[in-house]
Structure 1
Amino acid sequence: MVKGVVNFSGEKLTEARLAKGLSKKALAEKIGVTSMAISRYESNQDKPTHDKLDSIATALGFPYDFLTRRAWPESLGPTFWRNQVAETKASREMTEQRMKWLCEIFWTLEDELDFPHLDVPDLDVPNDFRQITPLMIEKYAEQVRREWKFRQLPIQDVVLSVENAGVPVVMLKIASEKQDGFFFRSSILNRGFIGVNVNDTTAVRARFDVAHELGHLLLHRNVTASQERDTNDHRVLEQQAHRFAGAFLFPRESFLEEIAVPTLDYFYANKKRWGMSIAAMVTRSSDLGLIEKETKSQMYISMNRRGWRGSGNREPFDDTMELERPRMIRRGVEALVESGEYSDDFLEHMLSLPRNEIEQLVGCVRGGIPVGNPIPVPAARSVVQATDLETGQVIKFQARRRG
């Protein structure tokens, strides 16, 4: 009797297949088996032979060892999705697998480094999110800005500000136009993670998406997965996160002072200063009661006429404003590599993930971390550090000592 690979993991096969957007039937056809065989593999009822597992790994473009690793031991949730109703299940599943790998990467790094502690304001939010009013959201945003010492000034880098508070941000290139971003919590890591789709996005849109997901973190800690999936509840949750993002990026007091007259020309003049889209400022004016619903609609129509809105169109400055990038996880990787105790490809060895997946999740751009060095044995150390090239600030990570 031919025996299968003993340490094969059906859960990891499911991860790889869903991450590639393949159905069981599509994978089965690639390797010459039935879809029932794939089902039995994924449920751990059967184990593939070495040759068959090698064929599966090749077909999926994943290292063989990935399919023999243990899966991340928790179900993530609830996950807050932008545009959930319009998004396909397959597209969400592709991203969900990368959420698990993000947790694995963070856990692996956290075993070596102490990341910044979570430092977000403890807001007095009602247990039932339906009781959260727009006025409450304005006050919550003001409290966050006050505690993070932003005063009434523009936030220079939203991503850096959120990560400084201990909330990792990841930017993924997701093919779906209907998936703007997501937020989820890991109970094992005791962290919330923010994800943004940067496929054909703009700097101001990405800033708003990060602020939106921060709203979920702060306002919706008591929301259940079933509530987030409910169409009506989801709509309310999204509206609340939108309101928070607007108030966080452009506080009421400053908005009323700088937008003397809510017109497209005033919004145009303030876009680069506040890092907020003209469309978002139109909505902000409506939220603050400065314009009526009909005026808001007319402004959007005017934006279409100016070529600032609609399919294929962009607002002024969208092609010149630079996208903010996550740093927390990338700096952690760089710190370990620069310490000389880890090779450039240590995460590939530890996680058996494809290199392109690691680079995307870590936040490396244009190849990021080179490959090819052997993995040294970790030695005792105290502190490693990485300089933030954008700010010149030295980010220190306290290294863990093993007993």
Structure 2
Amino acid sequence: MNSFNLESLILLQQLEKVTKNDIATWGGVSLPTLSKILNRQKEAPDSLFERVSDNSGYPLEFFQRDTSIPPAYELTYRHTSRTTIQELNAIAAEYSLLSDVADTLAGKMNIKSKAGWIDQIAPKTESITHADIERLASLARQYMNLPAHGAVSNVTRALERCGIVVAPLHALTPDDADTKLSSDGVTHPLSNDELLSIGFKEDSNAGDRDRFTKAHELGHLILHKYRRLERYSEMEREAHAFAGAFLMPEDDAKTLINPNIMLSDFLQLKASWGISIAALISRGYDMNILSRDRWRSLYMQLSARGWRKTEPITVVKEKPLLLQQILQKEYGDKNGFIDSFTAEHELGIRFGYLDVWAGGLIEQGSELGYRARRF
């Protein structure tokens, strides 16, 4: 018999947001029988996995993988009381697959971690100060070979040069327009993979928000590698502060933001730094440059102009390249076409996920370069 993993059925259920009854139907068994199989009261025949594979479109190797899903509380996805269990499960399941695929590719291609510096600078004491966060953001720039001052020209590329896979997640970009997700990014600070991973929401969000999300998740990777705070909101506050400090260093903030700055002045700053007006105002307040009254006044003006929802000045979105380049090197040909069949079966994952994570892949045999998004 093949070494099929029962947990893969749960993983599939979470990824597809379906019920156990759906899995039973795909597998050609009754729900009571599936329950007994999952509870180890009855042995699962190979035919069950073969039928589920045929009906779900997942390669048979998916059901042989040993992917472990980290507990939701270990992931940095910001969840609220409105967050559904289904939402959390889908994001945790897809993120775990992304991490597993990235680590598998690293092993196949002998790619070694370039992010060991995170372990070196990650704080281990429970309590850290604002000054500590400023210092760690400065150190991160140093280890990432970024200038000490000035804007980060491309946050995504800076992360990828450190061997951090940055990928849009299907679960963070739901097909249902009515679904309101709680967060735009997710990572796993406790991970020891050769290639760390950051998942983000790929939609019409402005490029400035996209850049901040990725810097925010980098903050989690550093600040919460060895620290797990009792209040999740405090972890979020720290990561926000880190993102602000990483994107606009302390000396730059003190030079460019003054106590009497006008809302219109932030337009040029946004265009030059790739940071939203709202985040720049928060940065000024966090640095004690702006008083609470001035901070409140600027936010009221932001709301009055309708800029809380849609800000002026477009910041171009950054496109990840690392995972696409790795997949191209391992499974591509000289014309840029991907051997999707081999990739699916060697990695044990639907090609549609690889396509989404890599930002678009072209299959061998695709007519006119058809991009195979299979969701």
* TM-score past 0.5 threshold: yes
Instruction: Give secondary structure in 2 for the equivalent of 1:206.
Output: helix
One of 234, 242, 245 as aligned partner of 2:243: 245
Say if 1:25 and 1:35, in contact at 8 Å, map to a contact too.
yes
Matches within 5 A, 1:103-114: 103-114=99-110
Say if 1:87 and 1:179, in contact at 8 Å, map to a contact too.
no
Matches within 5 A, 1:299-314: 299-309=298-308, 313-314=309-310
RMSD across aligned C-alpha pairs, in angstroms? 2.9
**Are positions 1:364 and 2:359 aligned together?**
yes
Shift of 1:239: 0.5
Tell me which residue corresponds to 2:162: 165
Tell me which residue corresponds to 1:324: 318
1:28-67: CA deviation from partner (whole Å, max 9, x where unpaired)? 4676755433333334443455665454335534234433
Shift of 1:92: 1.5
Say if 1:8 and 1:47, in contact at 8 Å, map to a contact too.
no
Change (3 A) 1:279 1:187: closer
Say if 1:157 and 1:324, in contact at 8 Å, map to a contact too.
yes
Q: Distance in 1 between matches of 2:191 and 2:185?
A: 20
Tell me which residue corresponds to 1:289: 288
Say if 1:81 and 1:182, in contact at 8 Å, map to a contact too.
yes
Amino acid at match of 2:157: L
Tell me which residue corresponds to 1:270: 269
Say if 1:105 and 1:347, in contact at 8 Å, map to a contact too.
no
Say if 2:209 and 2:276, in contact at 8 Å, map to a contact too.
yes
What is the percent sequence identity of the aligned residues?
24
Say if 1:186 and 1:192, in contact at 8 Å, map to a contact too.
no
Matches within 5 A, 1:172-321: 172-173=169-170, 174=172, 175=174, 176-185=180-189, 187=191, 189-224=193-228, 227=229, 230=230, 233-260=231-258, 261-309=260-308, 313-318=309-314, 321=315
Gaps of 5+ in 1: 374-403
Change (3 A) 1:125 1:172: closer
Amino acid at match of 2:299: Y
1:169-203: CA deviation from partner (whole Å, max 9, x where unpaired)? 12224224213111115756244321112234221
Shift of 1:297: 2.7
Q: Distance in 2 between matches of 1:12 and 1:124?
A: 36
Change (3 A) 1:370 1:36: same
After TM superposition, the structure 1 stretch with the greater mean CA deviation from structure 2, 240-249 or 186-195, is 186-195
Instruction: Give secondary structure in 2 for the equivalent of 1:264.
Output: coil
Tell me which residue corresponds to 2:128: 132
Q: Distance in 2 between matches of 1:51 and 1:336?
A: 31
Shift of 1:124: 5.1
Q: Distance in 1 between matches of 2:292 and 2:25?
A: 54
Q: Distance in 1 between matches of 2:321 and 2:203?
A: 19
Say if 1:18 and 1:90, in contact at 8 Å, map to a contact too.
yes
Q: Distance in 2 between matches of 1:242 and 1:203?
A: 17
Change (3 A) 1:74 1:178: closer
If the length of structure 2 is used for normalisation, what is the TM-score? 0.83
Q: Distance in 2 between matches of 1:288 and 1:186?
A: 29
Change (3 A) 1:280 1:184: same
Matches within 5 A, 1:28-43: 28=24, 34-43=30-39
Q: How many residues get paired?
A: 352
Q: Distance in 2 between matches of 1:32 and 1:336?
A: 36
Shift of 1:237: 0.8
If the length of structure 1 is used for normalisation, what is the TM-score? 0.78
Say if 1:337 and 1:343, in contact at 8 Å, map to a contact too.
yes
Say if 2:69 and 2:92, in contact at 8 Å, map to a contact too.
no
Q: Distance in 2 between matches of 1:267 and 1:370?
A: 44
Amino acid at match of 1:336: E
Say if 1:215 and 1:244, in contact at 8 Å, map to a contact too.
yes
One of 139, 144, 152 as aligned partner of 2:140: 144
One of 10, 16, 22 as aligned partner of 1:20: 16
Gaps of 5+ in 2: 175-179, 367-375
Change (3 A) 1:113 1:154: same
Say if 1:9 and 1:44, in contact at 8 Å, map to a contact too.
no
Instruction: Give secondary structure in 1 for the equivalent of 2:113.
Output: coil
Change (3 A) 1:209 1:49: same
Q: Indicate the structure with greater helix content.
A: 2
